[in-house]
Amino acid sequence: MYYRVSSAALNGLEAAIVNVEADVSDGMPMMELIGYLGSEVKEARERVRTAMKNSGFSLPPRRITVNISPAGIRKQGTAFDLSIAIALLGCLGCIADNAAQEMLIIGELGLDGKICPVQGVLPRVLKGMEMGYRLCLVPIENLKEASMAGNIKCIGISSLSQVYRYLNNEEILEPVASVPLKACKSSQAYPDFSDVKGQKGMKRCLEISAAGGHNLLMIGTPGAGKTMAAKRLPGIMPPLKEDEILELTKIYSVAGSLPPEGVVVNRPFLAPHHTCTPQAMSGGGVNPKPGLVSLAHKGVLFLDELPEFRSETLETLRLPMEEKIINISRCGMNYTYPANFLLVAAMNPCKCGYYPDTSRCRCNENDVKKYTGRISGPLLDRMDMMISAEEIGFEELNSEERSESSERILQRVLQAKERMNYRFIGNAVKTNAEMGNNEIIKYCILGRKEKLLMKEAFTKLRLSSRSYHKILKVSRTIADIAGYEEIKEEHLIEALAYRRSEFF
Amino acid sequence: MSDAFCKSSAEKYRYINRFSAEYPEKLQEIKNPPAGIYVKGRLPDPTKPSVAIVGSRICSQYGRLAAEEFGSVLAKNGVQIISGLARGIDVIGQNAACDSGGSSFGVLGCGINVIYPKQNAEVYKKVEESGGLISEVAPDAPPIGAQFASRNRIISALCDVLLVIEAKERSGSQITVQRALEQGKDVFALPGRIHDVCSAGCNRLIAQGAGIATEPEAILSLFGIYKDTGNSTSDSNKYGREKLEKIEKRVYENIDFYPVSLDEIVSKTRMSIQEVINVLFHLQMKGYVSEVAKNRYVKTKL
C-alpha cells in the first residue's frame, strides 16, 4: 500500500516542493521516517502516531516507511506532521486515491489531533502557487498569512478528523478569498511627531532621512528625546508597496514573528539592546533565521547608545549596508536574506553625556576622544548625516504649541519620493542615498554660484572627498523636499550643517 | 613626527647648576630653588618684563580667546610669556605669543626631551625657537603628577606678574598662585561670569584682592609700557560686528563664548531652522562664529 501527498520545505526565504510518501508493508512492526530529516521532523513519528490514535485511526502493527523526497535537501521544522498523517491515512485506505492530490498540505499535529500553526507558511504557499497547485491546507491560525499569496485557494483547518471528513466530502470547507494587500490594515498606528516638542534639527534630519534613505547619527545629552523621535520615523516614510508587504511578511513568517493580524503592514522599527550579539544581528542558528538586519528590511534599524555595542556586532552591519542583502553560511548551506534598512543611531557626546557643556561635563578631552573612538571608522563613514540634540528648556516643554504632525511631514516626503521615482526610472538606484558617482555627476549638477560656495566650504571646513559626495546627495534630497529640480545654495548650506564633522 | 623631533633636539640641552653664573637670579631668591635646570634654547632675559599666563586644561571659548589676546598683545609689546606648555590655556597663550613674534618660555613638568601631551609638538618647537624650554627633572623623565605641581614654583619664580585666565575652584593654577604670593609676585585674574565653574577660581582670586585683567593694557601699564593703539587686534574685532547684516546680527546676538546649540538659537531667534543654518554658515565663513562640537557654535571674536 503506497500513498503520496505534497508539502513544502523551507530553505531560507525560499521553499521547495517535497513529496511525502508512505508505505505499509509486511514485516516487523515499526515506523521509520527517512529523507535527510532534522530532529524536529524525526520526532513527527510519535506526534503522528498518537494524534492518529486519538482521532480514531489506529496504525496497524506492520512495517511503515515514510520518505520525504527529494531526499537530498534538508528538511526542518514541524510543518510535515499533517502531510505524513494524511499519507498514512491514504495507505490505510481511509481516503480515496485521488482525494489529496494537487494540494499542498502544511501543519503541525498536537497529540490530541489538533492542528497547530507553523512558521514560514507564506513562502511555501507562494511556491505551491508557482508550481501550479490548486489548493493549500494550512492551519487555521496561518490562514490569513497564506491567503495573501493570491491565486491559490487556501483552506484553514483545525483538526485531523476535520481534514479526514473534508477529504471524504463529509464536510464542506470553503476556501477564503484572498485579501487584497491594499486593504490590509495594521492594528497599530505609528506614534505621531506632534508629540515631540522642540528638537527642530533632529526632526528635520529625520524627515530628510525618510525621504532620501540617508543613514543618520544623532548625538545628544541623555533625555534629549532621541529615541522618542526615532520611533516616529517609520510614520513619515512612504507606506509599504504590495510587493514590499509580501516580502516583509515572508521574512517575518520565516522568523516566526508575524504580528497578530498575520501581515506586516507597518514599516518595521527595530531597536535592539546594545548587548545584542553578532549572530542576532546578522541571523544565525544551525538553520539560520533572519536576523535583525533582515527584520528591519524596508524599515528602520535604530541603535541607541551606539558606542556601547560590541564592535563585532557593528561590523556585521557593514556588508548588508553596502549590498542590501545578507549572506549567511552555515552547515554547508548558504542563506540569503534581504537587508535593506535605514540605519539611525544615537549616542551621547561623551561618557557622562554633557560635553561640550563645561559646567556639567566631567570628562577631559581624552575621555571624550576615547568614547567616540569606540565606533569604527568604516561604520561612521556609512553615516550620511549627523545632528546634535539636547534637552529642551522648560518653556518649550510646557508650550501649548503643537509641533508639526507626521501627516504633514509625510506629504513632503512623498513629494520628494515622487521626484526620486521619476528620476530613477529604469535605474537600479531607487533613493538619493544609493546614488553612486555616475548618478551624482548626472543628477547633482551645481550652478556657478553653488560651485563657488562649495569650493569655499571645502577648504574652510576641511571637507574630504567622501564627505563632499555625501553632502551633495543630502542636498539633492533637501532640494527634492523643497520641490526644486536644481540644487540651490540654501540646500547645500543646510546639507553642510548636517554633515559628519571632524569631531568624529 | 613628534618622535623625530625629540631625537633631533635631544643633544641640544644644557644643564645649569645652582652655582653657575648663568643660573637665573629670580630662581635663587625663592625658598626651595632647584639644584639645577635643564635648558633648551635660552633663559628669560632678566632685563625684560615677563608674565606667566596659566589656566586650566579644559577651557571655554571665552578663556581660549582671552588667552590668545593677552598672549599676543603682551608679547607684541616686548613682554616674555612664561607658562607650563600644558594642554588648554597654557599652550594657547604661548602659541599666540610665538605667533605674534614675541618670545615665550615653557617650564616643563616632565623631562626636557619629552613632549607631553604629544599633540603640542608643534608649539614646543615654536617655543624653543622663540625662547626656551626649562625643566628641573632628568631629561627623559616621564610626565608624573607631582612634578607638575612642583614646577609651578619655577613658573611663578621666573615671572614678574602671574595672570590666571580660567581656573576652577581647585586646580593646578591655584598652586601657582600660592607660590607666586609667597614669592611676592603680582597676581592678575581674568574676571568671568558667576556660576561658571571654569571661572570660579579666577573670581575668587579677584575677591581676595587679585588684579582684574580686563585688558592687556592693565598689565602693560605695570611695566610702564603704553601700547600704541594703531596695531591692536582686539579693537578691530570689537567693532567688526557693525559690518553684519540685520539678520546676521539677530543670530549673532544669541551666540556666546559658551557653546550654544542649533536648537537653542532657533528657539531664541524664532526663525526657521533653514534660515538659522543659512546665517550661521555665512557667519562661519566670515570668521565670526565657529562650530566647536557638532551643531554647537561659539563666537570667535571678543
DSSP per-residue codes, B82-144: EE---TTHHHHHHHHHHHTT--EEEE-SS-TT--SSGGGHHHHHHHHHHSEEEESS-TT----
User: Tens of pLDDT along chain B (302 residues)?
Assistant: 344 334 335 568 889 999 999 999 999 989 889 999 999 999 999 999 999 999 988 888 889 889 999 999 999 999 999 999 998 899 999 999 999 999 999 999 999 988 888 888 899 999 999 999 999 998 888 888 888 889 999 999 999 999 999 998 888 888 899 999 999 999 999 999 888 888 999 999 999 999 999 989 989 988 888 765 544 444 444 545 667 888 898 999 999 888 888 988 988 898 999 999 999 999 988 889 988 888 889 888 77
User: Which of B280, B294, B298 to mutate to test binding with chain A, by most A CBs within 10 Å of its CB?
Assistant: B294
pLDDT at B224: 86
User: Which of B168, B198, B263, B288 to mutate to test binding with chain A, by most A CBs within 10 Å of its CB?
Assistant: B263
A vs B: CB pairs below 8 A: 81
Q: What angle do CA A480, A485, A490 make, to 5 degrees?
A: 70
ipTM surpassing 0.85: no
C-alpha grid cell for residue B205? 582670586
A chain contacts of residue B268, beta-carbon cutoff 8 Å: none
Q: Distance between CA A369 and CA B11 in Å, rounded?
A: 34
Give the C-alpha distances (Å, rounded to integers) separating B236 from A66, B71, B229. Answer: 95, 17, 11
> For residue B180, how many other CB atoms are within 10 A of its CB?
24
| Class of residue B20 by CB neighbours under 10 A (exposed 0-12, middle 13-18, buried 19+) | exposed
The C-alpha cell 571646513 sits at: A461
Q: What angle do CA A105, A111, A115 make, to 5 degrees?
A: 35
The secondary structure of A287-317 as a DSSP string is: TTPP-HHHHTTTSEEEESSGGGS-HHHHHTT
Query: Any chain B CB within 8 A of the CB of A204?
Result: yes
**3-state class (DSSP) for residue A206:** helix
Q: Distance between CA B266 and CA A423 in Å, rounded?
A: 34
Alpha helices (runs of H) in A213-241, residue ranges in sequence order: 226-231
Is B295–A388 a contact, with Cβ atoms under 8 angstroms apart? yes
Element spanning A327, H or E: strand A325-330
C-alpha grid cell for residue B146? 607631582
pLDDT at B8: 36
CB B187 within 8 A of CB B177: yes
Q: Distance between CA B264 and CA A199 in Å, rounded?
A: 9
CB A18 within 8 A of CB A73: yes
pLDDT at A181 over 80: no
What residues pair up with A155 in beta bridges, in sequence order?
A137
A chain contacts of residue B267, beta-carbon cutoff 8 Å: 198, 200, 393, 396
Q: How far is A195 from chain B (nearest CA, A)?
A: 17
User: Which of B256, B257, B295 to mutate to test binding with chain A, by most A CBs within 10 Å of its CB?
Assistant: B295
What residues pair up with B211 in beta bridges, in sequence order?
B188
Is B296–A388 a contact, with Cβ atoms under 8 angstroms apart? yes
CB B127 within 8 A of CB B106: yes
Q: How far is B237 from chain A (nearest CA, A)?
A: 20
Comparing CA positions, the residue from B213, B222, B241 lying closest to residue B62 is: B213
pLDDT at A285: 77
Instruction: Provide mean pLDDT across the span A338-352.
Output: 92
Give me the residue from B263, B278, B280 closest to A490, CB to CB.
B278
Q: Distance between CA B27 and CA B18 in Å, rounded?
A: 9
Give the C-alpha distances (Å, rounded to integers) separating B102 from B2, B71, B97. Answer: 24, 9, 5
Q: Quick check: bond before A234 cis, omega within 30?
A: no
Is B262–A201 a contact, with Cβ atoms under 8 angstroms apart? yes
pLDDT at A101: 87
> For residue A183, how many other CB atoms are within 10 A of its CB?
6
Q: How far is B192 from chain A (nearest CA, A)?
A: 13
Q: Quick check: bond before A356 cis, omega within 30?
A: yes
- Which of the two residues, A228 and B239, has the higher pLDDT score? A228
Is A364–B58 a contact, with Cβ atoms under 8 angstroms apart? yes
Query: Any chain A CB within 8 A of the CB of B281?
Result: yes
Is B285–A457 a contact, with Cβ atoms under 8 angstroms apart? yes
Q: Which chain B residue has the Cα nearest residue A201?
A: B263
Residue A154 confidence class, pLDDT cut points 50, 70, 90: very high
